[in-house]
Chains A and B, each alone.
Chain A
Amino acid sequence: EVQLVESGGVLVQPGGSLRLSCETSGFAFSTSEMTWVRQAPGKGLQWVSYIIGSGTVIYQADSVKGRFTISRDNNRNSLFLQMSSLRVEDTAIYYCARVNRGQHLSMDVWGNGTTVTVSS
């Protein structure tokens, strides 16, 4: 069974740092493109960052550029999001998802999300 399980979301103060993890199983992680998407309370979906299987190509939303870093460990089948200089507006549920290039880059598998709250 294909599974994505996020963790690491907590309450953090503005300006703080956090590392989210996404543990995967049931598919060829090392050759899969992955992404992070977030959803602020009561709001819509916002794409955050993307990484290819080798980790050598990365894209990020302007709103997180210079503050968030996506990475992966293919030996551990895990995806990460290192978040720094956190702002109140980064408060959201963070989802990891698999990007399926064979299906026009659609996000075909999603985790259940992990909640990040940035507040003093």
Chain B
Amino acid sequence: DIQMTQSPSFVSASVGDRVTITCRASQGIDRFLAWYQQKPGKAPSLLIYAASSLQSGVPSRFSGSGSGTDFTLTISSLQPEDFATYYCQQAKSFPFTFGPGTKVDIK
């Protein structure tokens, strides 16, 4: 199975800050990497697919990069509605696996 790790597990940031979250796969997954946002009590929602493609309707302050084993999600200017938990997920092979999540909290 492909293991996914994320760092940091927790980020304390202020509105307007640039936030970067890293995701690493235990083996190469090409660009079969998605990022999801989950707010408390809500279902996850897709932010980024194919490592760097922005899902329709997602603000352009979100961006993704990387390929192979190392990936990054960047929020260029954190907004109040961005405080949430973020998960990466590989879809290169079954079983699909998620990272453990990164919680972005208000400083």
**Which residues of chain A have a CB within 8 Å of any CB of chain B?**
35, 37, 44-47, 50, 59-62, 95, 99-100, 103-108, 110-113
Q: Report B-chain residues with C-beta under 8 Å of the C-beta of A112.
A: 42-43
A106 touches B49 (CB 8 A): yes
Say whether B96 faces chain A, with CB atoms less than 8 Å apart: yes
Residue in contact with A59 in the complex, picked from B51, B94, B98, B99, CB distance below 8 Å? B94
A60, B1: Cα distance in complex, Å: 12
Closest A-chain residue to B85, C-beta based?
A: A44
Q: Report A-chain residues with C-beta under 8 Å of the C-beta of B55.
A: 103, 106, 108
Interface of B is mostly: loop
Min CB gap B71→A, angstroms: 12
B50 touches A103 (CB 8 A): yes
A104 touches B50 (CB 8 A): yes
Residue in contact with A107 in the complex, picked from B33, B89, B99, B101, CB distance below 8 Å? B89
Residue in contact with A61 in the complex, picked from B32, B44, B95, CB distance below 8 Å? B95
Interface string of B29-49 (1 = CB under 8 A from A): 001111010100011111001
Interface of A is mostly: strand
Question: A59-B95, A106-B91, A107-B44 provided; 11 other pairs, C-beta below 8 A?
Answer: A35-B96, A45-B36, A50-B96, A61-B95, A104-B32, A105-B96, A106-B34, A106-B89, A107-B46, A108-B46, A108-B55
Say whether B62 faces chain A, with CB atoms less than 8 Å apart: no
Closest B-chain residue to A46, C-beta based?
A: B98
Say whether B87 faces chain A, with CB atoms less than 8 Å apart: yes
Interchain residue pairs with CB less than 8 A apart (30): A37-B44, A44-B99, A45-B89, A46-B98, A47-B89, A47-B98, A50-B94, A59-B94, A59-B95, A62-B95, A95-B43, A100-B49, A104-B33, A104-B34, A104-B49, A104-B51, A105-B91, A106-B34, A106-B49, A106-B50, A106-B55, A107-B34, A107-B46, A108-B46, A108-B49, A110-B43, A110-B44, A111-B43, A112-B43, A113-B43
